[in-house]
């Protein structure tokens, strides 16, 4: 036990107690990767990723048939509906014979879903079920990316319908084109040449990995309600894709030796194995999203708790700094600051910046630059933005109608001392404004 503790302490020292900026590039990447893996394992042990993957299992079971039914209807218009069953079989391949059985059941359910039988109300409920599923998926990814605000309803509904209606067409078209190219006479002739044949055969074996990685990359870029860099999404997808395929092999071996479970659970065995595989798939997808997040945001690579807690004086200075940076960019006609850019410039987590910017927006000291609600601009002329007003706004963060100064019992001595403190701060800041903090040249 002591040896294990010593080994853990040595690894922690090698990974966390070293200045990564002083290391050679290759070693810095290695240490950075080890830190990311440590943090992902920590997130797993905290249980939130597992809980969210379990909740998505229920949502998937509820929405799988409606989703495939909608996709099937759209694909039928393009003549691609015959590819649904092979793709579903491939996704459920780790379940072995049970995967074939479940696929046949799902296809039977889908074929029984007819718009004429459902009626307008039934069709609306079917679409609502699918949209709700994608909404829950977005919330799970937003949690991983520390995003507290969800997309507006109109934008959300439009994006979701685009995914439901256009996504399957693009995916199955790409698969069909790939299959067509591989069956062309030119490719078949190249395969007769030993060197090219081996390369094409290897490429065919690697194609499932590539398709999974591309699909995961697209999901990581477009699902979270934040800007995700393609490079970070690819890193997360690369790990998640390899993990998904590897887990599929292991799960297939487990299913092959699960005769006892079939004997115990009888007809429910297929459903239970199906649910376990769905949860594993969602968990792997969320792990990849977590890797992409830590890759894009090095400021979160620390052993501190997930939710940052700032001291009062740090909040006050941070608010003044944020106001100055936003106003300076506005005066110098530079692109507006975003919350993400501010966090990266200040070297702080986005979670630490967001409550401050939201409170400053509520107090009408800053405002969104446009309808995208990403850029930030001063809401008043700099000569009217008084420092004491900014500090006063920051000091009320966390107060509400229930928790405020009026709820405290009166005490003459304490009240007098607190009033003197408030007055001293007002006097020291006097009439100073943000404009006085800007460059004079």
Q: Is the pLDDT of residue 330 over 80?
A: yes
CB 86 within 8 A of CB 261: no
Share of the chain above pLDDT 70, in %: 69
* Predicted pLDDT of residue 46: 84
Written as six digits, the tokens of 332 are 């110098």
* Predicted pLDDT of residue 349: 80
All residues at 6 or more sequence positions from 91 whose CB lies less than 8 Å from its CB, including other chains: none
Q: How confident is the model at residue 199 (pLDDT cuts 50, 70, 90)?
A: low
Going 115 to 118 to 124 to 127, the CA torsion angle's sign is negative
* Predicted pLDDT of residue 232: 93
More confident residue, 207 or 324: 324
More confident residue, 397 or 256: 397
More confident residue, 342 or 77: 342
Tokens 């079939």, residue?
Answer: 262
**Pair type for strands 337-338 and 366-368:** unpaired
> What count of other Cβ atoms lies within 10 Å of the Cβ of residue 163?
18
Q: Is the pLDDT of residue 316 over 90?
A: no
pLDDT digits (tens, 9 = 90+) for 89-133: 776 776 667 777 777 777 776 666 654 555 566 667 767 777 777
Backbone torsions φ then ψ of 377, nearest 5 degrees = -130, 155
CB 144 within 8 A of CB 289: yes
* Predicted pLDDT of residue 245: 80
> Residue ranges per domain, the chain?
2-43, 47-300, 312-437
HSE-up (13 A, CA, CB side) for residue 47: 0
Q: How confident is the model at residue 235 (pLDDT cuts 50, 70, 90)?
A: very high
* Predicted pLDDT of residue 420: 87
* Predicted pLDDT of residue 419: 85
All residues at 6 or more sequence positions from 170 whose CB lies less than 8 Å from its CB, including other chains: none
pLDDT digits (tens, 9 = 90+) for 215-229: 888 889 888 888 889
Q: Angle formed by the axes of helices 339-346 and 350-362, to 10°?
A: 130
Measured between alpha carbons, how far is residue 63 from residues 40, 58, 310 in Å?
29, 9, 42
Alpha-carbon 28 to chain mean position: 25
The CATH number corresponding to 312-437 among 1.10.10.10, 3.20.20.150, 3.40.640.10, 3.90.1150.10 equals: 1.10.10.10
* Predicted pLDDT of residue 402: 79
424 by Cβ neighbours in 10 Å (0-12 / 13-18 / 19+) ranks as exposed
* Predicted pLDDT of residue 332: 85
pLDDT digits (tens, 9 = 90+) for 32-72: 888 888 888 888 888 888 888 888 888 888 777 777 766 66
CB 103 within 8 A of CB 64: no
pLDDT digits (tens, 9 = 90+) for 372-415: 677 888 888 888 888 888 888 888 887 777 777 888 888 888 88
Rounded Cα gap, residues 426 and 424, in angstroms:
5
Q: Is the pLDDT of residue 423 over 80?
A: yes
CB 392 within 8 A of CB 320: no
Written as six digits, the tokens of 163 are 């995914």
* Predicted pLDDT of residue 259: 61
Give 377's strand partners.
367
> What count of other Cβ atoms lies within 10 Å of the Cβ of residue 14?
11
Give 134's strand partners.
none
* Predicted pLDDT of residue 290: 93
Nearest to 296 by CA among 344, 238, 337, 338: 344
Q: Is 430 left (phi over 0), alpha (psi -120 to 50) or beta?
A: left
* Predicted pLDDT of residue 128: 74
* Predicted pLDDT of residue 293: 92
Segment 144-170 shows an average pLDDT of 67
CB 176 within 8 A of CB 259: no
Rounded Cα gap, residues 413 and 410, in angstroms:
9
């Amino acid at each position: 036990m002591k040896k294990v503790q010593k080994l853990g302490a040595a690894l922690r020292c090698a990974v966390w107690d070293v200045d990564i900026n002083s290391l050679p590039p290759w070693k810095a990447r290695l240490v950075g990767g080890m830190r990311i893996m440590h943090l992902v394992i920590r997130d797993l042990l905290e249980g939130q990723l597992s809980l969210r993957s379990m909740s998505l299992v229920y949502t998937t079971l509820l929405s799988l048939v409606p989703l495939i039914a909608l996709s099937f209807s759209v694909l039928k218009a393009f003549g691609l509906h015959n590819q649904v069953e092979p793709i579903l079989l491939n996704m459920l391949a780790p379940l072995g014979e049970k995967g074939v059985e479940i696929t046949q059941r799902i296809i039977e359910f889908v074929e029984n879903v007819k718009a004429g039988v459902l009626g307008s109300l039934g069709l609306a409920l079917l679409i609502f079920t699918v949209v709700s599923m994608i909404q829950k998926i977005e919330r799970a990814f937003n949690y991983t990316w520390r995003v507290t605000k969800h997309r507006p309803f109109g934008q959300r509904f439009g994006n979701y319908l685009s995914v439901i209606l256009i996504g399957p067409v693009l995916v199955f078209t790409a698969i069909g084109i790939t299959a067509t190219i591989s069956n062309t006479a030119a490719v078949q002739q190249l395969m007769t040449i030993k060197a090219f044949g081996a390369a094409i055969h290897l490429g065919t074996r690697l194609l499932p990995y590539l398709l999974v990685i591309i699909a995961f990359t697209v999901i990581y870029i477009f699902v979270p309600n934040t800007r995700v860099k393609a490079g970070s999404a690819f890193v997360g997808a690369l790990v998640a894709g390899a993990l998904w395929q590897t887990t599929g092999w292991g799960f297939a071996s487990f299913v092959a030796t699960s005769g006892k479970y079939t004997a115990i659970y009888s007809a429910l065995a297929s459903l239970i194995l199906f649910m376990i595989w769905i949860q594993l798939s969602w968990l792997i997808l969320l792990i990849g999203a977590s890797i992409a997040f830590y890759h894009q945001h090095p400021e979160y690579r620390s052993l501190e708790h997930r939710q940052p807690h700032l001291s009062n004086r740090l909040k006050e200075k941070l608010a003044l700094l944020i106001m100055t940076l936003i106003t300076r960019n506005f005066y110098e006609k530079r692109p507006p600051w975003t919350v993400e850019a501010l966090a990266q410039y200040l070297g702080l987590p986005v979670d630490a910046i967001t409550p401050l910017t939201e409170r400053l927006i509520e107090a009408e000291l800053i405002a969104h630059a446009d309808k995208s609600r990403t850029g930030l601009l001063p809401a008043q002329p700099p000569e009217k933005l008084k420092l004491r007003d900014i500090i006063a706004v920051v000091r009320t963060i966390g107060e509400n109608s229930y928790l405020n100064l009026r709820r405290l019992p009166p005490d003459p001595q304490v009240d007098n001392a607190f009033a003197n403190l408030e007055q001293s701060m007002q006097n020291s800041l006097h009439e100073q404004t943000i404009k006085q903090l800007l460059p004079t040249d």
